[in-house]
Structures are given as C-alpha cells and as structure tokens.
Amino acid sequence: MKFRVTIEPDEDGVFVAECPALPGCISQGKTRDEAMANIRDAIQGYLTSLKKHGEPIPSGITEEIIEVPV
C-alpha cells in the first residue's frame, strides 16, 4: 500500500514526518532519510495494530497526473 507522508523540518532542525491518513502516526529523524525510515516503521506498526484490533485499514492513495496547457 502507498500512503502520503509529509516531512517538514522543525525549529530545531529535526525532520518531522506525518501520515495524514493515519491519525497520530508521526515520527521524526535527524535527516530526511532517517525520518522516512522512521515513518515507514511507524506506519507498519500502526497497520499491525489496526489488524490486531480488527479495525479497518484506510485505503492507500491513488494518484493521477493531469497535464494542462499553460
């Protein structure tokens, strides 16, 4: 599955990663790559918890690219 993730540096220079489709699924890292690895682990843990408790798993994202003339 694919989930959208946002990554932003905070005021201390730490990269904060969040998965909006999974409320409360947030992680961080000293580098962008570390934040990506950590949020991947957090998403996996979140999905495992949902399965364990019999809760529905949100659908992943589907995206299309639209080209428009400028």
- Name the residue ranges covered by the structural domains of the chain: 1-70
Question: 1-70 adopts what CATH topology?
Answer: Double Stranded RNA Binding Domain (3.30.160)
DSSP 30: S
DSSP 54: T
Note the pLDDT tens digit of each residue in 6-63.
999 999 999 999 999 999 999 999 999 999 999 999 999 999 999 999 999 998 777 7
DSSP 50: H
Sequence-ordered list of residues with C-beta below 8 angstroms from that of 19, at least 6 positions apart, any chain: 3, 4, 5, 25, 26, 39, 42, 43, 46
Q: What angle do CA 59, 24, 21 make, to 5 degrees?
A: 20
pTM over the 0.85 mark? no
Q: What is the pLDDT of residue 30?
A: 97
Q: What is the Cα–Cα distance from 37 to 52, expressed in whole angstroms? A: 23
